[in-house]
Structure 1
């Protein structure tokens, strides 16, 4: 593993431990040349995935790019980092276990939108505006209408009965 500070190729592992509920291994490393310390993560990769872009271009799947995109949509939102990590892990696992080596970018976008819709409505709208290339306010209105319908369906359900905090005789 190359040192991110000086580029040295002879880094040493100082500590290894399971991370992310055993789905990854976290390694603390040190560079003997510059004494720089950094952390790496190892994850199981079932197969090499290739993303088929709308332009027809093929690029390797980049889990970090997926995480960054979701992070941008969730910027300044009160969502715990572990929930974001679980969303990214779930999407990556779905893609890897899907059986296809080439995945259309639309499939990834749809999975992200589905995940964000359940996580945070504002992030969902942010991501959708870029992913679906919104050009006018009407596009936002249409998307917000679908969010409103989903919320209205859950509002129609009877509210659970609440108990009073007072002691009853």
Structure 2
């Protein structure tokens, strides 16, 4: 580690501490040339893949945009913040596990749909209608049949 005061490359670690969460290491260092002390912080770099859109353009993964998509589909539906945060965390874990630098937006959309299906079936159908670009009522009927757990009762 280069000394920020004199630029010398010879430094030693005087003290090492891990923060309470266990995800950051704080190191006190001493320059062997000018004898000044300074602090460095070390943390794991977690890089989520870029999203490749249908038109071929690439954008950085955006957690806030993903959350906004969930909440738009779940608007006026009985879903908890914990459920949505958990779904997003599971998606991010899957993205990291893939180990890819890029992911097609279609694959990310499918992950969102799987998670929405677990949270709320109406929100799942809402999201699917936009994501799959439904063109007529038959498309809705197909998805409704897919998520129905029992035959629809006739209303009078």
TM-score (norm 2): 0.66
Quick check: 2:66–2:88 contact (8 Å CA) kept in 1?
yes
Describe the SS at the equivalent of 1:97. Answer: helix
Measure how far apart 1:93 and its partner are: 1.7
Bigger relative contact order (CA 8 A; separation at least 6) = 2
Measure how far apart 1:97 and its partner are: 2.1
- Give the 3 Å change call, closer, same or farther, for CA 78–55 of structure 1 in structure 2: same
Given the alignment of the two structures, is residue 121 of structure 1 paired with residue 124 of structure 2, yes or no?
A: no
Q: Which has the larger radius of gyration?
A: 2
Measure how far apart 1:45 and its partner are: 5.6
Partner in structure 2 of residue 69 of structure 1: 69
Partner in structure 2 of residue 140 of structure 1: 140
Quick check: 2:48–2:95 contact (8 Å CA) kept in 1?
no
Deviation string 1:84-112 (CA, Å, 9 cap, x unpaired) is 11111111121122111100001101101
Moved over 4 A (4+): none
Task: Say what the alpha-carbon RMSD is for the aligned residues.
Answer: 2.5
Q: What is the CA–CA distance in structure 2 between the aligned matches of 1:68 and 1:23, rounded to whole Å? A: 30
TM-score (norm 1): 0.61
Quick check: 2:48–2:92 contact (8 Å CA) kept in 1?
no
Query: How many matched pairs?
Result: 114
- Give the 3 Å change call, closer, same or farther, for CA 134–68 of structure 1 in structure 2: same
Consecutive unaligned residues of structure 1, counting only runs of 5 or more, are: 1-17, 25-43, 153-169
